[in-house]
């Protein structure tokens, strides 16, 4: 363990070996204290008497801006004739919580996250929102440690596949509408419905568990921080199941 002193606060980060993560990420840090901050959730900071600025929230702010610029530039160069509306739509699909969470899982970020006890017990290290925020923070850490080009390389190394899928129409923002469309084409007619199975947690950390039904069969379940979020996550999972069950159905 080592101690970082900032203002009047004494905040303790546990030692972590990031070497394996750096290999997956494709970048080696000169200043690994940036990674300590990037992996530190607000609940951990408050539980240990630190200030909000010692969590990864400030890094998220920078990471979000850097990713927007890099992905926007990538899309701009991919299609010289694309208009602003198309570019904005493709960036919104590529730069979203689900995309970042997917990349974070591939990088194994959840195993390094520092969470408060309650957040850890509720599965916080695998929540889309927490993983997405952590990914943004890590990109900001790369930016501060190695500069814009290093951050650009990390972003493109990890998001290029998602950008390509977005451009090719394989990723959607509205998975619920996509599922409803699938259920009404090519001669197949199925009733899709969403049902809230559980609502739990305090008002500021509410979670909803939703099941997605195809007729009377459950296709998927998902948990989200709002009913809409849970429905979108559930619909995304349900699309994969539905297309496996009815492989001739496609849009």
Q: Which residues form the catalytic set? A: 64, 136
Look up tokens 């992905």; give the residue: 71
- Determine contact, residues 217/199, Cβ cutoff 8 Å: no
Count CB-CB contacts under 10 A for residue 153.
15
Q: Which residues contact 207 (CB under 8 A, 6 or more apart)?
A: 122, 198, 199, 200, 201, 223, 224, 225
d(CA 180, CA 190): 9
- Determine contact, residues 109/127, Cβ cutoff 8 Å: no
Query: What does the block give as tokens for 197?
Result: 């199975």
Q: Which residues contact 40 (CB under 8 A, 6 or more apart)?
A: 13, 54, 55, 56, 114
């Amino acid at each position: 363990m080592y101690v970082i002193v900032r203002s009047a606060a004494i905040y303790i980060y546990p030692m972590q070996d990031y070497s394996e993560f750096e290999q997956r990420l494709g970048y080696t840090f000169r200043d690994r204290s940036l990674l300590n901050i990037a992996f530190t959730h607000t609940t951990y900071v408050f539980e240990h008497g630190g200030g909000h600025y010692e969590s990864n929230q400030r890094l998220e702010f920078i990471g979000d801006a850097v990713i927007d610029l890099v992905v926007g530039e990538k899309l701009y160069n991919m299609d010289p004739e694309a208009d602003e509306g198309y570019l904005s739509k493709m960036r919104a699909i590529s730069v979203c919580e689900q995309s970042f969470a997917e990349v974070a899982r591939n990088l194994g970020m959840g195993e390094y996250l520092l969470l408060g006890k309650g957040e850890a017990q509720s599965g916080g290290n695998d929540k889309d929102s927490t993983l997405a925020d952590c990914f943004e923070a890590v990109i900001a850490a790369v930016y501060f440690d190695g500069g814009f080009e290093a951050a650009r390389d990390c972003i493109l190394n990890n998001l290029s596949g998602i950008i390509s899928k977005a451009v090719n129409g394989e990723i959607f923002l509205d998975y619920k509408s996509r599922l409803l469309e699938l259920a009404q084409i090519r001669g197949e007619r199925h009733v899709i419905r969403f049902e809230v199975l559980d609502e739990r947690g305090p008002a500021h950390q509410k979670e909803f568990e939703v099941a997605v039904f195809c007729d009377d069969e459950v296709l998927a379940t998902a948990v989200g921080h709002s009913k809409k979020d849970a429905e979108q996550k559930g619909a995304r999972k349900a699309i994969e199941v539905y297309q496996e069950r009815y492989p001739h159905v496609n849009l």
